Amino acid sequence: MKHTLSVLVEDRPGVLARVASLLARRGFNIHSLAVGPTAEPGMSRMTIVVDAPELEQVKKQLHKLVNVVRITELDPATALEREIMLVRVAAPAGKRGEVLEIASIFKATAVDVGPSSMCFQISGTPAKINDFLDLVRPYGIVDLVKSGRIAMAREQKTKPGRLRAVN
């Protein structure tokens, strides 16, 4: 089963290698891994999508690493998840209008046009990216690259009628 982990780590050399190595040694398959800075100086956030039947084991192993500060499992139903993809689609002159129409529906942007293909940039939820791919696949995928998934928890909403007065 795939799980999405948000891992706050110290921004130090070798942390990414240690995390990836730990997961590989334990036989967990990493489907996606993205790392970037956070609002807090000196900290980075790793978003890891891992295939692990026993997630508690993954979390326990990660907590043992010195530079790991906090691990949060994100619920796919409530998390904000995004990916970005560049995809080159076969698009001879007679089919370009159809391909552009599909791209327009998904708000994909043409970033390169060649004699026999078009390259699109698209960002959104993993489901949106996969739906776009399913629709352009019949035209022929020439090349494809996706970023790792980035994700964060949604802000908790307060329930109506439960607002507290501030003195």
pLDDT tens-place string over residues 27-82: 888 999 999 999 999 999 999 999 888 788 888 889 889 899 999 999 988 899 99
Rounded CA separation 49/7 (Å):
11
Domain count along the chain: 2
> Do 61 and 18 form a contact (C-beta atoms < 8 A)?
no
Indicate the residue type of 38: T
Residue 160, in any domain of the structure:
no
- CB-based contacts of 81: which residues, under 8 Å, 6+ apart? 4, 74, 125, 126, 149, 150, 151
- Per-residue pLDDT band at 85 (split at 50, 70, 90): very high
> Do 32 and 48 form a contact (C-beta atoms < 8 A)?
yes
Q: Could you list the residue range(s) of the whole structural domain that residue 120 is in?
A: 81-150
Q: 141 burial class (0-12, 13-18, 19+ CB within 10 angstroms)?
A: middle
Residue 140, pLDDT > 70, answer yes
Residue 164, in any domain of the structure:
no
Unique residue bearing structure tokens 């990493």: 30
Rounded CA separation 126/2 (Å):
13
The residue among 15, 56, 57, 64 whose CA lies nearest residue 35 is 15
- The pLDDT, as a whole number, for residue 150 is 95
Do 140 and 96 reside in the same domain of the chain?
A: yes
- Residues of the chain with pLDDT > 90, as a percent, come to 71
- The pLDDT, as a whole number, for residue 57 is 81
Do 113 and 85 reside in the same domain of the chain?
A: yes
Do 45 and 87 reside in the same domain of the chain?
A: no
Interaxial angle between packed helices 96-105 and 126-136, expressed in degrees from 0 to 180 and rounded to the nearest 10: 160
Unique residue bearing structure tokens 């998840």: 81
Dihedral angle, C-alpha 24, 14, 10, 70, nearest 10 °: 10
Do 95 and 73 reside in the same domain of the chain?
A: no
- Residues of the chain with pLDDT > 70, as a percent, come to 94
H helices present in 65-136, as ranges: 96-105, 126-136
Assign 128 to helix, strand or coil. Answer: helix
Q: Residue 132 maps to which CATH number?
A: 3.30.70.1150
